[in-house]
Amino acid sequence: MEGLLSVLLVLTWSFPLFVALLWTSARLRGAGLQLAPFAALPGLLLALLAGGLPAPPEVGAPMTEVTLPLLFTGVDLVLDGTGRSFLLFTSILWLAGGLFARAYHATDVRRGRFFLFFSLTLAGNLGLIVAGDMLAFYLFFALMTFAAYGLVVHAASTEALRAGKVYIVMAIVGEVLLLAGLFSLGGTFGGNPAFGAQLESTWVDLAAGEGPTFGGAAVALLLASGLGVKAGLIPLHLWLPLAHPVAPTAASALLSGAMIKAGLLGWMRVLPAETPLPEASTVLLVTGALAALYGVVAGILQDDPKTVLAYSSVSQMGYMAMGTGLLVAHPELAPWAGVALMLYAVHHGIAKGALFLSVGLADRVPRGDGDRARWWILGGTTLPALALAGLPLTSGALAKNTLKEGLGEMGGTTYSVLEVYLPLAALGTTLLMARFLATLWRRREAADPGTRAFLPFSYGTGTLVAPWAALVLLGAGGMAWLPISVDVPANVALPGPGAEVLVGLLPVLVGAAVGWVVWSRSRDPDRRGLLPEGLAGARVPAGDLLVPVEAVLRWLPLPNQEEWVESLERRGRRGRARMRLAARQLDRLAARDVETVNGTLLGVILVALGAGLVLLLMG
Amino acid sequence: MTGAELWTTAAVFGPLLASLVALGGRPAALKAGLLLGSVTTLAGSLGLWLQVLQHGPVRHLLGGWGAPLGIELWADGFSVVMLAVTALVGAAVSLYSLSYFGDLSTLDAETSPAGRAARYFVPLWLLLWSALNGIYLSADLFNLYVTLEILGLAAAALVTLAVTPRATVAGMRYLIVSLVGSMLFLLGVALLYTEFGTLALEELSAAAPGGPMAATSLALMTVGMAAKTALFPLHAWLPPAHAGAPAPASALLSAVVVKGSFFILVRLWFAVYGGGSEAGLVLMGGLGAAAILWGSVLALRQRSLKRVIAYSTVAQLGYMFVMFPLLAPEGLGGPDPRWSDDAWIGGILLAVSHALAKASMFMAAGNMSYAVARDGLRDISGVAHRLPMSFLAFGLGGLSLAGLPPSAGFVGKWLLLREALSAGGWFWVAIITVGGLLTIAYVLKVLRHALDREASDGDFRPVPRRMEWAALLLALASASLGVRATEVFQVLLQGGVQPWT
Amino acid sequence: MMGPSSSHGPGVSSPSPSGDAPTGPDASSPSPLLRDHGERDGPPLLRWLLGLFLVPVGILLALGLKGAAGSRDPRIPDLIAKHLPETGVSNPVTGVLLNFRGYDTLLEIAVLVAAMVAVWSLDRGQRHFGLPASASASGGAGGGRPFLSAILRLAVPTAFLTAVYLTWMGSSEPAGAFQAGALLAGAGVLLSVAGVLRPLTAAALPVRIVAAGGVAGFVVTGIAVLPFTGAFLAYPEGWAYPLILGLEAALAVAVAVILVELFVDVPSIPAHDAALDAVDPYGDPLGRALAPDPSPADPEAP
Amino acid sequence: MDVTPLLAWDALPLAVVLSSFVPGVMIMFLKEEQARLRNSLNMAGAVAKVALVGLMLQGVAGGASYEWALEVVPGLSLTLRGDALALLFVTLSAVLWLVTTLYAIAYLEGSANRTRFFAFFSLCVTATTGLAMAGDLFTFVFFYEALTWATYPLVVHKGTPEAIRAGRTYLYYTLGAGAILVVGAVWFQVEAGTVQFAAGGVVDATAVASGPITWAFIFAFLLIGMGVKSALFPIHGWLPTAMVAPAPVSALLHAVAVVKAGAFGITRLLHSLFGIEVAWEMGAAVAVAALAAFTIVYASVRALSQDDLKKVLAFSTVSQLSYIALGVALLDPLAHVGGLIHLVHQGIMKITLFFCAGLIAQTLGVKKISDMGGVARRMPLTMAAFTVGAVGMIGLPPVAGFISKWYLGLGALGAGQPWVIGVLLASSLLNAAYFLPILRTAYFDDPDPSWARGAEGPRPRLEADWRLVLPAVTTAVFSLAAGLLAASSWSPLGWAILIIEQGVL
Amino acid sequence: MTSLDLYVWAGVVVFLLALHAVVTRAHLLWKVLAINLMGTGVFLILLAAPARRDPMVADPLPQGMVLTGIVVAVAATALALGMALRVMARTGSPFLTVDPETEEPDPDAPEPPR
C-alpha cells in the first residue's frame, strides 16, 4: 500500500507533465488530446486512497513521503492532512473541468494548445499541493502561474491579450515578492528548508533576528503579498475580474475554484505555525475584511455573470485571508482555525466550480426554444449559490459555523466584532448570488455565437451536463462528505447540521427577499434582470483599480533610450566626418613629406647634427 | 685554427665568392651562386652561434696581425643573432627570387628588363649579403666604412633594378643619401683617429672616449647612420625606394639592409662610447617615438599596399631606437652603468621579429603584384581570395609587428614594457602601446580590403607555390619565435650591451 | 669625366653600335643634362640659413681639431716600422695596404666590382666613339686623323711600360696596383675613344672573368693560406712577397678593365619611353606586361 | 579500456589545446571544395577534445592536477594547468564546440569562404581552451589577445560593408583594451614579482597597503582588459554590433567562448591574482560588484527597446555576464558557486537561444521579433527549445538559470549585501519584460499564411535540417538537465562545489 | 699656424662647402660632384690632422686609408653618374622629381559629412 501511495505521489504531477510533452510531436498530439481531461485521475486516486488510511496521530504528520534527492535541489514530496483535502477537491474540480472542456471545445480548432496549457497548469497545481519543501513548492507554483497564462489568453482576442498581459505582470510581481521572501528563509536556513520542523526553526531564528536579512515581520509580509497576488488580496486582485470573463469557462472555473486556493495553501505551508506574527495577521485581517465587502459591492454592479462570480471569489478569499490572519496571530487556534479554513476552502471550491460551469452550460442553451432546459439549469445553479450564501444544512453553513466555533474559543473583542460581521457577510453573499442568477437569466446571447448550437442530449451534452451536475450535487450534499474529506483532529468537534439554524437562515432569507423585490419591480421583460436605473449609472469599469494605475503609467515620461542612442550615433558620425577632414589635411602634409626630401636634406640633417652635437657635448 | 676563423671566413667571404660565381650570368651560375651564398652563410652563422654560446665572444685576427695594426673579425651575441636573422631572411628571399623573375633560362638579359633584373639581382644581393655579414663581424672603424659603401652601392642598385621612372628617382635619392651618410661617417672616423690614433673598436672603448672631439665624431657618425637607417627626420627617402623596388629587393631592403646601419649605431653608442650621454639617449628615443607616430600615421594614409608596408618600416625602426633610453634606466653614472637585460633583449627581439615579419609582408605583397600587376588597396580584395597563403603570411607578419601573440614582437614588447614600467618611464610605456595600436590600425586597413566580399576575377597570373611558401615560412618563424625564444635570450647575454668592458 | 655625350635615337640602344655620327634631333643645343641655371635649387632663404648655420659649425670643428691631435701617443707608425720586415715589402704604405690591412684592400676591390655590376644592371646602352664608319673602314689606327694616331702611338706603349714598372716597384716605392691600373685604364680609354679598341660590353665573358679576377684572387689566396697560418690572408713565412706581387698584378689588370668598363659602359641617354608611365610603379616594378607567363617577348622592351 | 596511464599524463592540457589547433591549421591549407575532408577533420578534432576533457575530468575529480610549461624567455613561460576551475570552462567550450560545429556545417552549407571560417573557428576554440587552462597571467594574456584577432575574420565573415564596420568596432574595443591589459599585466609582474596564478591570490595585503594608488591602477588596467570581453558597462558596445556575424559565430563566440573569456578573466583577477579578501579590502571587489550590478540593469533596459531578435539576445548576454562578475566579486563562497555555475548555465542557455534565432532566421528568414507571430505552430521544437532558454534566462525553475540565481541570492545574503537580491529580482523582472512578449507573439499571434502546413509542398518530417534542430534541442535539454539534476555531483553545480572544496578558486 | 693646420682648415671648409652644395643644389651632377668634393675634404683632414702630432713621422695608416677612400670614391661616383644618366633617361629631367603618387584619390573615399 505504502509503495502504491508513493508512486501515486510522483504520478500526480508527472502524468499531466507527460501528457503536455506529447504535444511537441505532431503525431502524438491526438493521444495527448484524449488523455488530457483525465490527467487529474492519479491525484484523485491518491486523495481517495490516502483518505482510507487511519487518521494520523497528530495533525501535521505526513501520511506518505517520497524524497527525490537527484531532482532539482533535492525534492521531497509529502501528503499530509491539509494536502489530502486540498488534493481531493482540486482533482475533483480538474476532472470536472477537463470533461467539460473536452465537450465545450470539441469544435475549437486550437484545442490542442488549450489542453497543452491545461495539463501544464494541472501539473503545477497538483505538484504544489504535494510539494514537501520550499523550492519544490515554488517550482510548481511558478509552473502553474505561467502555464495558466495560456488558458487565460486562449481566445487570443484583444481583451483576452490585455487581460493576459495584466495577469502575467501581476503574476511576475507576485513571483518576485515570493522569491524575495524565500531568499530570506533560504538565507537564514542556509539552503532549502522542508515544510514542517525545518521551516519552523527557520522562523524561530528569523523572529530572534539572527537571519542575515530583514526581520521576521518583513519576510512574512513579503510571502503573504507574494501569495496574495494569486489569492486575490485587495490591492493585488486586479487581474481576477479581468481574467475570468475572457478565459474559456472551464478555465475560469478551475482558476477560481482551484488555482487561487494555491495562495491559501501557500500561506498555510510557508507561514509559521508556532511563532506568532502580529503585523502580518493584522494586514491579512484588514485586507480580508475589506476584500469581503468590496467584492460584494463591486460584484453587484456587474453585468457579466462571470465577472460577478470573479468578485464573489475575491470576497470569499477575503474570508479565508481573515481566517489565515487569525491563525497566524494566535497559533493556539491552530486546530480549530485550520479545520475551519479547510472546510471553507473545499466548500468554496466545489460551489464556485459548479456556478462557473453553469454559466458555460447557459451559453450552450438555445434561445427561445425549450425554456424548459434553461429553467433546469437555473434551478440547479441555485443549489450551490445557496450553499455559498451559507444556508443552513449546506456545506456553507457548516464551514461558517466551524469558523464561528473556533473564534468562540478565542473570545475577546475580535470575537464580538466577528459575531456581527459574519451575518452581514452572509447577507452580502446572498445578494451577490441573487445578482448572479439575474445576470445568468439574461445570458441570452452566448459568449461566442459560433459555438452556440445546442447539442442534442448525445455524447456532447452528456459530458457537458454530467460534470456540472456532479459538482452541483456535491455542493448541495456538502454536509455529508465534507467532514470525511477533512481529517478533523480529536479535540475538534464539528457543529451538527442543526446548530445556529436561526442565525444562519435569517440573512439568506432577507437577501432572497430583497432580490425578489428588485426582480419583480422591473416590469418589462427585457429590463427584468437589469439593475434599477439609479444603480445602473454607477458602473464599475472592468479591472476597477487598474484604470487609474494605467492612466498614471501613460502620463509618466519614460525616458526613450532609442532617441538617446540615435543622438549618440549621430554625434559619432559627425566625429568620424571631422576625423576624415583632419586626415585629408594629413594627406597634404604627407605629400610634402616626400617633397621635402629635396629640401629636407637642406635643413633637417644639419638641425639633427647640431642638436646631437650640443647634447653630446653637454652629456 | 679554432672554428671561429673558419665560420667567420665562411660568413663573410662565402657570399662574396658566390657573387663572383653568379657574375657568370647564365641561370646555372645564378642558381649556383645563390646556393653557395646561402649554404656558406647559414653554416657560418650556425657555427658562430654555437661557438659564441659556449665560449662567449670570439675573434679572428685577419692577416695574423693584432688589433691596432691589422683588422679583426669579432662576433658576440648581438652580431651572431643579426647574422642568423639575415641568413634566414636571405635564404628565404633567395628561394623567392628564383621564381619571382620568371623562368631564368628563357629570359634574355639584353632585351627584357625582367631578364636584366634577374641576371644582376643575384650578384648584387650576394655582395650585399657579404657586406652585411662583414658589418656584423667587423671590429674596425675604417673597415666598417668600406663595408658600408658596398652595402650602399649594392642596395641602391637593387632599387634601380625596377624599370619605372619613379623607382629610378628613388634609387638615385637613396644613393645620394647613402653616400652623404658614408661621408659623414668617414669624417667621424677621421676625428676619432685624430683623437685616439687607433681604428680598433676594442681599443677605442678601452680609451673611453668622452671629450668634445669624441662627442662631435659620435654626432657625425650618428647623423650619417641615421640617414642610412632612415630614422625619423631623415626617413623620407625610404618609402619610395623600398616600395618601388622589385619585391625580393624591397623585402631585403626593409628587413635586413636598414638593420646594418642600426647595428653600427648600437655598437658605437654602447660598446664604444659606453652609452654616449643620457640626454643623447633620450634624444635618440625621442626621435624613435616620433618615427613610430609619424610612420604609422602616414602608413594609415597610403593607398598602395607596398607604400603602407614601407612606411610601416619607418615606424617599426622607431621601436628599435626606443630601446636606447630604456637600456640605461638609472642613467650612465657610476663606473659600470647597469644595462637592463630586459630592454636589450626586448629591443633586439623586436628587431629580429621586424626583420622576419617585414620580409614576409613584402613577399606577400610581391605575390599579389606578381599576380595582378597592380598594388592598390582597392585591388587586394580580388586577389586575397585566390592567394590565401600569402595573405595568411601578411596577417601573421602584421600580428608580429603589432606585438600581438603568438609572435616575437609580443615577447619583445612585453620585455620593453617591463623595463619601462620598472624604471617608471611612463612616456615610453605610452609610446610602445600607442605604437602597437597604430600598427594594428594600418594592418587592419589592409586586411579589411582583403576580406571584402566581391572577388574581381580580372586576368590573374598564377603565383608559383614556392613564392607563397617562402613568405609563409618567415611569418611562421616569427610566430614560433614568439613561443620559444630562450636560445636567443641566452646567446644575447654573451657579450651583452658593452662586450669590451 | 664627361665625354662628348651624344644622344641617340629614341629608345634605340641596340647592342650593336650604330656606328654613324649622332643624328639626334637637337645635336646643336647642349644635352638637357647640362642645361640648369639653379632655378630649381630650393628657396634662397633656406640656403642662406644653412650657410649661416654651417659657418660656426666649421669654426668649432676646426678649433676642436686643432687641439685634438696633441693627446694621442704615436703608436701606430712605430708599430708599422717595427713589423714592416715581416710583411715582405719595404714600402710601409704597400705594407699597410696589402698585408696589415689586406682585408680593406680586398673590400675596396669588391666596391669597384659592386659599382661595375651596378652600372651593368642599369639600362643596356652603349657609347660608341671614334671616327665615322668610313674612317674605321680604312683600318689604320686613328684612320685619317694623323694627330690622333700619333698621340696613340706615343702614349699607349709608354703607359703600358710605366704601368708594369709601377706594379713592380710597388713593393718598395710609393706606387702600386691601383696607380698601374689607373694608367692602363687611361690607355684603354684612349684606345676605345679612338675607335681602335672595340668597346668592351658587359655581355662578354672574358671581361667578367678578368674584372672578377682581382677579388677572386684575393679571396682564394686568403682562403688558401687559412689552413697554414690559422688566419685569413696571413701570408706564410717567405711567401709574403711573391703572393703580394702576384696579387698586385692581378689587381692592376682588374682595376684597369673595371675602370675602362665603367667609362665605356655608362649607358647613353635613350629617349623617355611613354609606355612606362602606364605601368603601376609599385604593382609592376619590372614592367612585365600581364602576358600569360611563359611568353618571352616583352612588348615594352626599353 | 583502462585509462589510468592516460590520467597521469602531465601534458594532457597541451593535448586538449592541440586537439583543436591541429585541425585548425590543417583546414587552413585545404581548398574550398574539400568540404567533406574539412568537416570530418573538424568533427574529429571536436570529438577528440571532448574525450580528452572527459579524461581530465575523471583525473581531477580523483584529485590529480596537470601542469605543463614551455619556457618562452627566462622568467616568462607558457604554463597550462588543468585544475578544477579551468576544467569548468574547458568542458563548457569543448562540448559546445562539438555541438556548434555540427550546427555550423549545416548552417553554412553552400556559402563562400568556409575553409577560412572553420580554420579560424578552431583557432578561436584553441585560444579559449588555452586561456581557460592558463597557469599564469602571461599565458592568459597570450591566449586572450590571440582570441581577439582570431575572432575578427569570423565577425567579418559575410564581407558586407556592415560586417566590416562591425568588425572594426569590435577590434577598436577589444584591441584597445587588450593594449591596456598588456600594460596592466606587465606592471603586475613588475610590482608583484610574479605572474603565477595561485588560489587565494599572489598579492600580499601589506604590499597593497603600502602602495594603494599603484595597485588601484594595476587593478583598473587589468579590469578594463578583462571587462571589455565580459562586456561590463562602459565598454560593452561591441557585442550588439557584432551580432552581424553568422549565427554559429554569435552562438559559440558571443555567447560562450569570447565573452566567457572576459568573465573567467575577472574570476582569475579577483581570486587567483589579488585574492578576494585583498580585493575586498582594496574596495576593488565592491567596485566590480557595483559595476556589474549596473550593467545587469542597464543592459536589460536597453534590451527592452530592441526589435531585432539577436540584438535582444546580445543585450541579454551583456546583462547575464555581469551576473558572473557580481557572483565572484562577493565575499561569500555560495556567491562564488553562483557565479561559477552561471558561467556554465548562461553558456548553455544562451547558445540554445542563439541556435533557435539562427534556425528561425535560416528557415523562415525572420529576424525581427515583430514578424515572429505564430512561429511556434510552424516550428514547435525550435520554439520549445527557445522557451526553455527564455525561461532559464528569466530565472524560473526548473531551468538552470534559477539555480545560479538562487545561489547568487544566498551568497549575497551570506556576504551581507542584501541590495544584490534587489538587483537579481529587478533583472528577473526586466528579463521577463523582454522575453515573454517574444513567447507571446510566437505562441499566440496568428502565423504568416505562407508557413501554414502544406503551403510549400510536403514539409520534411522535421521542421528544418536535423543538423540545426538537434544542437538546439540538445543544448535545451542540457539547460533543463543542469537545472533539474542540479543536485547530482556531475552537474555544473556539483563541479562548482568541488572547486570550492578543492580550494582551487 | 703650421702648414698642416692650414690643410685641416682647408679640409673643413671644403667639406662644409661640399655638404652645402649637395644639400641645396637640385641638379644631379652638382650633387655627385659635391659628394666627391666632400670625400676630398675628409681625406685632407684625415691626412693633415693626425700628422700634426709629430710632422716628421709619416704615418702610413692614414695614407692607406686615403688610397682606399679614393678608389671607393671613384667607384661611387661612377655609379652615381650612371644612375644620374638613367634618371635623365627615365624622367627626362636631371632633377629628383617629386613622387606624384600622393595626388591619387583615397580608395575608401570619404562620403561628404552629413
Please indicate whether, in this complex, the C-beta atoms of B199 and E61 are within 8 angstroms of each other. Answer: yes
**Alpha-carbon distance A560 to nearest alpha carbon in chain E (angstroms):** 24
Question: Is C57 in CB contact (< 8 Å) with chain E?
Answer: yes
Instruction: With a cut of 80, say whether residue A418 has pLDDT above it.
Output: no
Contact E35 B240 (CB under 8 A): no
Q: What pLDDT is attached to residue B246?
A: 92
Give the pLDDT of residue D454.
53
pLDDT at res. A397: 75
Residue D398, preceding peptide bond in cis (omega within 30° of 0) = yes
Residue D385 — pLDDT band, cuts 50, 70, 90? very high
Q: Which H or E run contains A77?
A: strand A75-79
Mean pLDDT of A505-514: 76
Which tens digits make up the pLDDT trace of A543-576?
666 777 777 777 776 666 677 778 877 888 888 8
**Residue of B141, B146, B179, B238 to mutate, testing the E interface (most E Cβ within 10 Å of its Cβ):** B179
B173 to chain E: closest CA residue? E96
Read off the pLDDT of residues A511-555 as tens digits, 9 standing for 90 and up: 777 777 777 766 555 555 555 555 555 555 656 667 777 777 777
CA atoms of C118 and B120, how far apart (whole Å): 8
Which is more confidently placed, A465 or D127?
A: D127
The reply to whether C53 touches chain A by the CB within 8 Å rule is yes
Q: Between D457 and B221, where is the model more confident? A: B221
pLDDT digits (tens, 9 = 90+) for A432-459: 888 787 777 776 544 444 444 454 445 5
Answer yes or no: is C207 within a domain.
yes
Q: Minimal CA–CA distance to B8: which of B54, B50, B48? A: B48
Q: Is the bond preceding residue B406 a cis peptide, omega within 30 degrees?
A: yes
- In the predicted structure, residue A286 carries a pLDDT above the cut 50: yes
Query: What is the SS3 assignment for A78?
Result: strand
**In chain C, what residues touch A610 (CB-CB under 8 Å)?**
53, 57
Contact B149 E96 (CB under 8 A): no
Say how many domains are in chain E.
Answer: 1
Domain ranges of chain A: 2-552
Name which of E8, E24, E74 is nearest C47 (Cβ-Cβ): E24
| Residues of chain A with C-beta less than 8 angstroms from the C-beta of B215 | 613, 616-617, 619
Q: Do E23 and A606 touch (CB under 8 A)?
A: yes
Selection from C141, C198, C188 nearest residue C163 by Cα: C188
When computed from its CA atoms, the radius of gyration of chain A, rounded to whole angstroms, is: 32
Say if E111 falls within a structural domain. Answer: no
The tens place of each residue's pLDDT in chain B, 501 residues long, gives 568 888 999 999 999 999 999 988 788 888 999 999 999 999 999 999 999 999 889 988 888 887 788 888 999 999 999 999 999 999 999 999 988 887 777 766 666 777 788 888 999 999 999 999 999 999 999 999 999 999 999 999 999 988 888 888 899 999 999 999 999 999 999 988 888 888 899 888 888 777 778 888 888 898 889 989 998 878 888 998 999 899 999 999 999 999 999 999 999 999 988 887 888 888 889 999 999 999 998 898 888 899 999 999 999 999 999 999 998 888 777 666 678 888 999 999 999 999 999 999 999 999 988 888 888 888 777 787 788 899 899 999 999 999 998 899 999 999 999 999 998 889 999 999 999 999 999 998 888 888 776 656 667 888 889 999 999 999 999 999 989 888 888 888 887 888 887
CB contact under 8 A, C114 and B150: yes
Task: Out of A194-208, B162-176, B275-289, E63-77, give the one with best mean pLDDT.
Answer: E63-77
Least confident interval from A373-387, D57-71, E71-85: A373-387
User: What is the overall mean pLDDT for chain A?
Assistant: 76
Q: Which of A313-317, C242-246, E1-5 has the lowest mean pLDDT?
A: E1-5
Task: Annotate D366-415 with three-state secondary structure.
Answer: CCECCCCCCHHHHCHHHHHHHHHHHHHHHCCCCCHHHHHHHHHHHHHHHC
pLDDT attached to residue C19: 36
pLDDT > 90: what percent of chain A?
0
| Amino acid at the residue B495 | G
Nearest by CB to E113, from A577, A583, A594: name it: A577
Binary contact (B303, E104; C-beta < 8 A): yes
**Contact (CB<8Å) A602/C54:** no
Given a cut of 60, whether residue A16 has pLDDT beyond it is yes
Contact across the interface for A597 and B180, Cβ inside 8 Å? no
Average pLDDT over residues D173-184: 94
Which of E22, E106, E113 lies closest to A574 in CB terms?
A: E113
Q: Residue A180: pLDDT above 90?
A: no
Condensed to tens digits (0 to 9), the pLDDT of residues B78-106 reads 999 999 999 999 999 999 998 888 777 77
Could you tell me the three cell numbers for D188?
A: 603586475
- The rounded distance, in Å, linking the Cα atoms of C234 and C221 is 9
Q: Of A26, A69, A153, which is closest to D444 when you measure between CB atoms?
A: A153
Q: Please report residues of A whose CB lies closer than 8 A to that of D416.
A: 212
**Number of folded domains that form chain D:** 1
CATH code at E47? 1.10.287.3510
**Which tops the pLDDT comparison, A198 or D85?**
D85
**Domain carrying residue D504:** 341-505
List the chains bordering chain B where 3 or more Cβ pairs fall under 8 Å: A, C, D, E
Per-residue confidence (pLDDT) for residue C127, from 0 to 100 = 57
Residue (of B288, B262, B273, B271) closest to B425 by Cα position: B288
Q: Does D457 map to a domain?
A: yes
- Average pLDDT of the residues of chain D: 89
Q: Does A14 have pLDDT greater than 90? A: no
pLDDT score at A187: 80
The minimal CB distance from D425 to the residues A156, A161, A180 is found for: A180
The answer to whether position E44 is within a domain reads yes
Here the cell at position B182 is 658614408
The reply to whether the predicted model has a pTM over 0.90 is: no
- pLDDT at position C291 is 43
The SS3 of residue D196 is strand
Q: Do C43 and A609 touch (CB under 8 A)?
A: no
Task: Determine whether the interchain pair E103/A594 forms a contact, defined as Cβ–Cβ distance below 8 Å.
Answer: no
The answer to whether B210 faces chain C, any CB pair under 8 Å, is no
CA-based nearest distance C145→chain E, Å: 30
CA distance B344 to chain D (A): 13
**Which of A157-161, A579-583, B390-394 shows the lowest mean pLDDT across its residues?**
A579-583
Is residue A301 within 8 Å of A287, Cβ to Cβ? no
Give helix B77-100 / helix B486-493 axis angle, nearest 10°: 130
Has residue C3 got a pLDDT over 60? no
Chain B CB contacts of E51 under 8 Å are none
Per the domain annotation, does C26 fall within a domain?
Answer: no
Tens-place pLDDT, residues A384-400:
887 777 777 777 777 77
Q: Using CA atoms, how far apart are residues D68 and A240, in angstroms rounded to an integer?
A: 64
Write down the pLDDT at residue D190. 92
Asked if B459 has any chain C CB less than 8 Å from its own CB, the reply is: yes
Q: Do chains C and D touch (3 or more CB pairs under 8 A)?
A: no
* Closest alpha carbon within chain B to D182: B414
Q: pLDDT value at position B453? A: 64
pLDDT 10s digits, D189-231? 999 888 889 888 888 888 888 888 999 999 999 999 999 999 9
Which domain does E73 fall in, by range? 3-96
Cβ B399 vs Cβ B480: under 8 Å: no
% of chain D surpassing 70 pLDDT: 96
Whether residue D359 is predicted with pLDDT greater than 70 in this model: the reply is yes
**Phi, psi (degrees; rounded to nearest 5) at B173:** -60, -40
Are C284 and B374 a contacting pair at CB < 8 A?
yes
Whole-number CA gyration radius for chain B:
21
For chain E, the average pLDDT equals 82
Residue C300's pLDDT band (cuts 50, 70, 90): very low
Kindly state the average pLDDT of the residues A367-390. 71
The residue range of the domain holding C252 is 89-267
Tell if the CB–CB gap between B234 and A604 is shorter than 8 Å. Answer: yes
pLDDT of residue C31: 67
* The predicted structure's pLDDT at residue A596: 52
| Residue C146, min C-alpha distance to chain E (Å) | 32
Which of B129, B80, B151, B85 has its CA nearest to residue B350? Answer: B85
Q: Which residues pair with D76 in a beta bridge?
A: D73
Q: Residue D471 domain-assigned?
A: yes
* D322 CB neighbour count, 10 Å cutoff: 32
E contact set with A (CB within 8 A): 22-24, 26, 95-96, 98-99, 102-103, 106, 110, 112-114
| Per-residue confidence (pLDDT) for residue A455, from 0 to 100 | 47
* Residue entry with cell 562577493: D330
Contact yes or no for D425 and A138 at CB 8 A: no
Is C293 in the B-facing interface, judged by CB distances under 8 Å?
Answer: yes
Domain count, chain C: 1
User: Could you tell me the pLDDT band of residue A308, with boundaries at 50, 70 and 90?
Assistant: confident
Q: Are E60 and C80 a contacting pair at CB < 8 A?
A: yes
Alpha helices in B71-211 (DSSP H): 77-100, 113-137, 141-159, 165-196, 201-206
Q: Distance from D232 to chain A by nearest Cα, in Å?
A: 18
Instruction: Tell me which residue in E35, E53, E90 faces B183 most closely, judged by beta carbons.
Output: E35
